[in-house]
Every structure is written in C-alpha cells, then in structure tokens.
Amino acid sequence: MAKDYLLEELKSLNKKAEGSAMPKDLRERILQMLDRLNRISQSNTYSSEFDVIANYIDWITEIPWVKKTQDNLDLKNAKQVLDRNHYGLEQVKERILEYMAVENIKIVNKDKLQAQEKAPVLCLVGLQGLGKTTLASSIAEALGRKFIRVSLGALGSIFELKGKSKALSSAEPGQIIKALVRTKVSNPLILLDEMDKVSGEKGLRSDLMAALLEILDPEQNTSFTDHYIDHPIDLSNILFIASANNTGTFSTALIDRLEIIRMPSYSDKEKEVIARDYLLSKVMKISGLLPEQLEIKDEVWPKLIRPLGYDSGIRSLQRILESVCRKAAKIIIEQKIPAVVVDEINFKSFLPIL
C-alpha cells in the first residue's frame, strides 16, 4: 500500500516538474531529487525523507517562474476604476495616475532610453480605516494585476519573510514566495501592509528591515534568495506598494526607496457620501438584502457616522452598516415582513455592541 502511494505521488511530481518553467540549473537539481524519490519508492517501507523532498519539489513547481498578466496602462480606465471605488482623494488619485503615466511613457520610449530607473515604491500613509488596503487593491484592478496583501505586522521573525531552511523541521518558503504561488503570476501587486511595525520599538527588528530593503532594492531583487527555495528568484516584475500608519520608525535607507503618499482623513460629510453611495450597496449585497428591503432615513446618517464621537476612518462605519444589514435581515426573516426602515426612534437597536 505504501509503495503504491509513493509511486502515485512520484508520478504526480514528475508531471508537475515537466510542466514547470523553472530555470535550467534548478531543473537539473529537481531531476536528481526525483531520481532519489524513485529509489525510495521502490522500497516497501515509509521514509520521512520522501515527504521532505516531495514537499520541496511541489513548492518549486508551484512557483510562477515566467507567467505574467498584461498591464493595462490606460489612464482613462484607471481613473474610472479609482473613481468608482473611492470617493474624494483627488490628490492621491492624481499621484497614482502620474505614476502610471510614467510607466507608460517608459514603455513608449524604451528604445531611446539607454537605462531605465525603477520608480520608487509607493507608500500609502494614514490612520487606520482610511482605505489604504482597498486603494492598493483598486490600483491592482486598474492595472489588471493580481492583488495580494502581506501583513508585515504579523511577522514574528525574518524566517516568515525569507523562508526557513530545508534543514529545519518546520521548513517552508517565506511570505513573498507564498504570495507568488497564491497569485499564480510573477508580476502581482503585493501590498506590504503595516510597514511601520517592521522596525518595532527603537528599530529593534533590524533583521526584518534589512530583508525588506533587499526585496525593494532594484539592484538586489532580481536575484532574491528565499532560504527554503535556495535558488535566485526574480522579484523585479512585482509591483510593491507599502502602507503604514506613520513613518516614525522608518530608517533613512527605507525612506529613500519609498514615495510617501499621505491619505487624508474624511470629514463627516465625505463619510456620509461614502456610506450612502459606496458602502451600503456593497454591504447589503453581502448580507443578501435587496435594495428595496432596507431604508435608512436621512436624519439617521449623522448618528450612524458618529455613534461614539469622531472617527477619521471608514472601517468602523462599514462595521456599523454590516450590523444594520444583519439585524435587518434577521427582522425580515423572523417577522416575515417585506422591508425594514431605520429611523431616529429605532436606529440604536441596529448598532453593533461597540
């Protein structure tokens, strides 16, 4: 039984290796490993070595070595996407369009330009809940790129970013390689979220900061080496965007690689427009409600926007609308009524427990 399983697994790995566009020198190493697995599979006993090698080959074959999406650098399309997904932020949107225009003109003039400098990494800076993640996602949508978020604040050690050596029992690739595998392309847009938390208090997480500098440096990221993969990987096709609540912990070297774009706080009037015209329909759809099944009276909106005082972001506002929609859905089902109206008298019963 064990032998049959190993042979079937080996067959699957051979097929994956044949279909992978991995570099030639790495393929030679993988073929040697497959030969080793073949010898192990001929025995009738289970060997943990088989799983270790098979797992490594599986990761190698999942990496999108050459597969890319085609960039859409149409500025009109980009503006439509940004305007559709985000209210206001005109200066921020303009800077993003300028960034895309520069990339576009580089392509037009590539034959006349002797050397092309890489543009600095955009870094969206602002308080929590201002929409930094959704804005980065919209940039990816406008470009036609796959989007994925890597939470730097959740990283416990450099191994989670650059991978763990195959010699370790818990060996696996780091978050950058995992992001490539999940998006299945070599040129996704990767949001490096909460970059201000990487350096920690007084810059004590300098190892993570050094790894980030390597990843973002055009001189180095063409041959990034993950400790687990143990083979150079070109990250230069990735569009990195960073986000942070502030830049107080950034090193000078990191700031030199970033272009800071500050996200403004929203006024109450802006938040009301965002809630009415952008968030409500989205939240209602997620909650399974039809447009005619929920009405929120005009006089209620200021109370929904400021249930406990001033909040500069929109994340908490979305949570409030989610609560309103959930409770409305519950009332419709339990009371078997066609619709719910939220007014000044009953609105408090729709608020979440804050």
Q: Which pLDDT does position 310 carry in this prediction?
A: 56
Q: Which pLDDT does position 114 carry in this prediction?
A: 66
Local structure of residue 299 (DSSP, 8 states):
G
Largest CA distance in the chain: 76
CA 238-256-259 angle, 5° bins: 60
In tens, the pLDDT along 245-287 reads 999 888 888 889 999 999 988 888 888 999 999 999 999 999 9
Dihedral, 304, 309, 315, 319 alpha carbons, nearest 10: -40
Mean pLDDT (10-residue bins), the chain, 354 residues:
75 93 96 92 79 94 96 94 92 92 83 72 90 94 96 86 86 96 97 84 67 89 94 95 91 89 89 91 95 95 76 80 96 96 94 78
218, with CB counted inside 10 A (0-12, 13-18, 19+), is middle
Q: Which pLDDT does position 324 carry in this prediction?
A: 96
CB contact burial 138-168 (16+ within 10 A = b; e otherwise): bbbbbbebbbbbbebeebeebbbbbbbeeee
Question: Nearest to residue 126, comparing CAs of 117, 118, 135?
Answer: 135
Q: Match 């009524």 to its residue by tokens.
A: 337
The pTM score is: 0.86
Calpha distance 99→153 (Å, rounded): 27
Q: Which pLDDT does position 5 carry in this prediction?
A: 76
First to last CA, the chain: 56
In the chain, helix, strand, coil percent, each to 5? 55, 10, 35
Q: Which pLDDT does position 137 carry in this prediction?
A: 96
Do the beta carbons of residue 100 and residue 143 sit within 8 Å?
Answer: yes
Calpha distance 244→335 (Å, rounded): 45
> For strand 121-125 and strand 258-262, is the pairing parallel, antiparallel, or unpaired?
parallel
Ranges of H-type helices in 276-314: 280-286, 301-305
In tens, the pLDDT along 288-340 reads 999 999 999 999 999 888 765 556 678 888 899 999 999 999 999 999 999 99
